[in-house]
Amino acid sequence: MNENIVPPTNEKALEAYNTKNELATSMIYSAILDDVLLMISSLTSIKEAWDKLKQIYLGSNFSRRFTIVQKLLQTH
C-alpha cells in the first residue's frame, strides 16, 4: 500500500474513492474476529486499520518464532 494516500479532489473521482474505501472497510471488518474489530474500530482511516492488523497478525519475527517454538515444545 502507498504510505501517502491522498484522496482525489475531483468530485466524481472522490465519490469513486470513497465508495472503494467503504467497500474495503466493510470487507476487512467482516473478515476479522470481534475482539480484533474492537481493536481497530476507533481508527480514523482504513490505512490505519490495515497497519494495525499487520501489526497484530504479523508481529515481529522474534515474537512469531518464539510463539512457534513454544507451541512445538508444548506438543512434545
Q: Decide if 32 contacts 53 (C-beta within 8 A).
A: yes
Total domains, the chain: 1
Q: Is the pTM of this model over 0.85?
A: no
Gyration radius of the chain over CA positions: 17
Q: Is residue 6 part of a domain?
A: no
34-69 pLDDT, tens digit per residue, is 988 999 989 888 888 889 888 888 876 777 777 777
Neighbours of 35 (CB within 10 A): 7
15 vs 18: CA distance, rounded Å: 5
Question: What grid cell was written down for 10?
Answer: 475531483
Q: Is residue 44 part of a domain?
A: yes
Q: Is residue 22 part of a domain?
A: yes
Q: Is the dihedral of CA 68, 71, 73, 76 positive or negative?
A: negative
Domain that holds residue 49: 11-75
